[in-house]
């Protein structure tokens, strides 16, 4: 079984939480019994999370050797220059080593996107922009660290695809079997 979930902002990519106060978890979305997340999204990231009851499939989806590209819409602080986009495409140096090259392009603000609760902070004096970024790795907070490394801090991060699996029209908190 393979399930696509649109993980909302603030929810954890696990079924339990022992923190105080507790955060929303996957247990609150009415998912079938026996599935678990194939990969993670930080609590402050949104979008596509795949869940499965098949360990081999989970491995194929998450192991970097299987080259499942992960595609994100990224709202960044600042206007990306051609040089900043090229640095992302070339791979950037992070504190845990260089990243693999990414696919990166500037986008118009998505007109289909749901509002975030709470909303992203708005600053009159600092512009923001949207990027589409696809990576073949999955290091901890990698997209946020990559955009920061080129001078474009991430304001909002939404995963829209993992390999051939797309978020589609799922609203936050909704899921569907694939």
Q: Which residues are catalytic?
A: 42
SS3 state at 120: coil
Compute the half-sphere exposure of residue 88: CA atoms within 13 Å on the CB side of its CA.
27
* Beta-bridge partner residues of 165: 162
Closest CA to 37 of 20, 21, 18, 54: 54
CB 163 within 8 Å of CB 68: yes
Give me the residue label for tokens 């070339």.
Answer: 90
SS3 state at 148: helix
First to last CA, the chain: 8
Give me Rg for the CA atoms of the chain.
16
- Cα separations in angstroms, 43 against 17, 73, 98, 165: 12, 16, 25, 21
């Amino acid at each position: 079984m393979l399930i696509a979930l649109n993980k909302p902002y603030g929810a954890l990519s696990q079924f339990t939480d022992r923190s105080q106060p507790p955060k929303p978890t996957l247990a609150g979305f009415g998912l079938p019994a026996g599935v678990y997340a194939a990969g993670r999204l930080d609590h402050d990231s949104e979008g596509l999370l795949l869940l499965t009851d098949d360990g081999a499939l989970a491995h194929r989806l998450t192991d970097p050797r299987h080259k499942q590209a992960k595609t994100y819409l990224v709202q960044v602080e600042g206007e990306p220059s051609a040089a900043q986009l090229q640095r992302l495409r070339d791979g950037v140096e992070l504190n845990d080593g260089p990243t693999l090259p990414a696919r990166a392009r500037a986008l118009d603000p998505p007109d289909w996107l749901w509002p975030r609760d709470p909303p992203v902070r708005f600053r009159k004096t600092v512009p923001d922009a949207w990027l589409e970024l696809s990576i073949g790795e999955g290091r901890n907070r990698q997209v946020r660290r990559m955009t920061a490394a080129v001078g474009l801090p991430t304001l909002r991060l939404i995963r829209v695809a993992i390999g051939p699996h797309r978020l589609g029209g799922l609203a936050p908190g909704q899921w569907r079997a694939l």
